[in-house]
Structure 1
Amino acid sequence: MAQFNVNVERFDPYKNFKFRVRWEGRYVAGVNKVGALKRTTEVVEHREGGDPSTSRKSPGRTKYEAITLERGVTQDLEFEHWANKVWHHGNGLGQEVSLKDFRKDILIDLCNEAGQVVKTFKVYRCWVSEFQTLPDLDANANAVAIESIKLENEGWERDPDGTELTEPTLSE
């Protein structure tokens, strides 16, 4: 079993604004929002005929919710290329989907305020179920154009090799 280094000097919880997303061994540029990692286990209720009128409960199937990644629209085509592996119009009959590599494992790094990775989560067998290449466009707005992908997945876990470093101090 992996041993975790504990930073006994840290009392504050981690902030949600320092993170990075990786797939295929490289960081994905410009991701500014990652949906929550959430799983739900169904409850199976049962009772035996001789039991009092109360039910017993046990765990059933576990489901992992889809994760949405958002970023500003740029010339980087990573989101579009991945989404096109799931469905690409015009590829011809029988070639609309890339069965070989439409799924990817991704890594989500949570960082402390100093930019050090403190937790990494592995998300398994992701594939793009929704792709938004452009938001609503509005000539009167003052906002960044955001593209997004929704990733279906088959589970996630915290990387057991993750260790928390001693936080740096500033020299005077």
Structure 2
Amino acid sequence: MPTPIPANARNPLRTFRFRIRMNTSAAGDYVAGVRTVSGLSVHVTPFEVWEGGNNLHRYAQPHKVNWEPIVLEQGLALDDTLERWARAVLEFARTGKAPGEAVKRDVFIDLWDGFAHPTEVPAPGPAEARIRSFYVHNAWVSRYHALPKLDAMAGEVALMSLELTHEGWESVPKPPATKPAPPA
């Protein structure tokens, strides 16, 4: 007979919640309504050399790193932070002058655990735990879809999408756990 699993058991393979923040925002100030993040991957191409006179055996070494673009999708009516960023990049490409907003930004993708309900996104507190953060270096908007395909007969949500080209990303380890202060 299998052992029963308690109802409150932690499942490490479930889908985690995530939030996006940028270097221009204050700590804890997240971009609202980002629905999906994809493309957080890297490809390392080999550099191949052959030993002198021996064409049968090659030696491969890691050589060139290709960072895949990151795609963000966001609901149109929620927050205009990403749209303003895309317009700033377009203005820079058109005029060559930096507008009031930064064109290249550092982006943080924070993974959180411990939400009570999938639709609930409370402020981080004792019930939530940041599992990991990904730090994306010098990202800029390289592709911007302002509107999805519009169809009056479909019941779909209007999402805009951004493709971010960047100079690499790194995983930031989980912050150390802090012990609560003893009662006074």
TM-score interval for Structure 1 and Structure 2 normalised by the shorter chain: 0.7 to 0.9
**CA deviation vs aligned residue, 1:63-85 (integer Å, no higher than 9, x gap):** 11110110111153212210111
For structure 1, the residue ranges without an aligned partner over 5 or more in a row are 1-9, 166-172
Give the drift of 1:15.
Answer: 3.1
Find the aligned partners of 2:107 and 2:96 in 1 and give their Cα distance.
27
Highest RCO, 1 vs 2 (Cα 8 Å, sep ≥ 6)? 1
The answer on whether the counterparts of 1:118 and 1:164 sit within 8 Å (CA) in structure 2 is no
Provide the residue aligned with 1:106 in structure 2: 107
State which drifts further: 79-88 or 62-71. 79-88
The answer on whether the counterparts of 1:66 and 1:152 sit within 8 Å (CA) in structure 2 is yes
TM-score by length of 1: 0.78
1:156 aligns with 2:169: yes
For structure 2, the residue ranges without an aligned partner over 5 or more in a row are 1-8, 116-127, 179-184
Identity among equivalent positions (%) equals 34
Find the aligned partners of 1:61 and 1:100 in 2 and give their Cα distance.
32
Describe the shift of the 1:104–1:92 C-alpha distance in structure 2 as closer, same or farther (beyond 3 A): closer
Q: How does 1:77-88 map to 2 (within 5 A)?
A: 77-88=80-91
State which drifts further: 155-164 or 124-133. 155-164
Find the aligned partners of 1:149 and 1:127 in 2 and give their Cα distance.
10
Q: 3-state SS of the aligned residue for 1:88?
A: helix
Find the aligned partners of 2:147 and 2:102 in 1 and give their Cα distance.
25
Give the drift of 1:136.
Answer: 0.6
